[in-house]
């Protein structure tokens, strides 16, 4: 979590940082990240290579955390007293591919926490294009510290639950 003594921007104040929009936006129940499909994201046939959806979804999960006030870079060291050296690791992932995305499409990656448990968070992620569902994923991430699963610290749990329950105006 951000150090309350450190100067920082309110992550919901886009006017304070014109580049903050790169992290998407909080919406009621979660987060939406726009992603443009570039040539490098496609395969020989001009559609998005399946593994790149995982990258898009990872970016969305990271940006969701960023916008609710979790600075991941600070968490890898000793900054979090409750669980030093922590990381989130993907425990499981179920994907359902519906339709392909193509070069120059603008995708929206929707991320919604659906369960905040003791040592894990389950998220529903949807890759959308012009209102159509392309890929749906259910991702369970585990909280790990010093090589072992640990209870998610209360501050982080509260931030995730607030994002899950309230979101922010879109």
pLDDT tens-digit map of 52-100: 999 999 999 999 988 887 766 665 554 455 556 678 899 999 999 999 9
pLDDT tens-digit map of 23-32: 899 898 899 9
Max mean pLDDT among 33-37, 68-72, 149-153 falls in 33-37
43 has catalytic annotation: yes
CATH superfamily, domain at 26-165: Hotdog Thioesterase (3.10.129.10)
Is residue 50 predicted with pLDDT exceeding 70?
A: yes
Extents of the domains making up the chain: 26-165
Burial 47-65 (b: 16+ CB within 10 A, else e): bbeeebbbebbebbbbbbb
pTM of the model: 0.80
Of the candidates 43, 63, 96, 154, the residue annotated as catalytic is 43
Q: What number of helices (H) and strands (E) belong to the chain?
A: 3, 7
């Amino acid at each position: 979590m951000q150090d309350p003594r450190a100067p920082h921007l309110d992550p919901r104040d886009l006017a304070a940082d014109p580049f903050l929009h790169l992290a998407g936006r909080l919406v009621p129940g979660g987060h939406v990240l726009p992603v443009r499909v570039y040539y490098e994201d496609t395969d020989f046939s001009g559609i998005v290579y399946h593994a790149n959806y995982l990258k898009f979804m990872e970016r969305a999960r990271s940006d969701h955390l960023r916008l609710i006030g979790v600075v991941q870079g600070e968490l890898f060291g000793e900054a979090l007293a409750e669980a030093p050296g922590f990381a989130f690791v993907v425990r499981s992932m179920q994907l359902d591919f519906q339709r392909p995305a193509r070069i120059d499409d603008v995708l929206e990656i929707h991320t919604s926490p659906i369960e905040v448990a003791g040592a894990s968070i389950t998220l529903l992620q949807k890759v959308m294009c012009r209102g159509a569902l392309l890929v749906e994923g259910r991702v369970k991430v585990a909280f790990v510290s010093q090589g072992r699963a640990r209870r998610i610290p209360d501050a982080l749990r509260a931030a995730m639950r607030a994002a899950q329950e309230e979101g922010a105006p879109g």
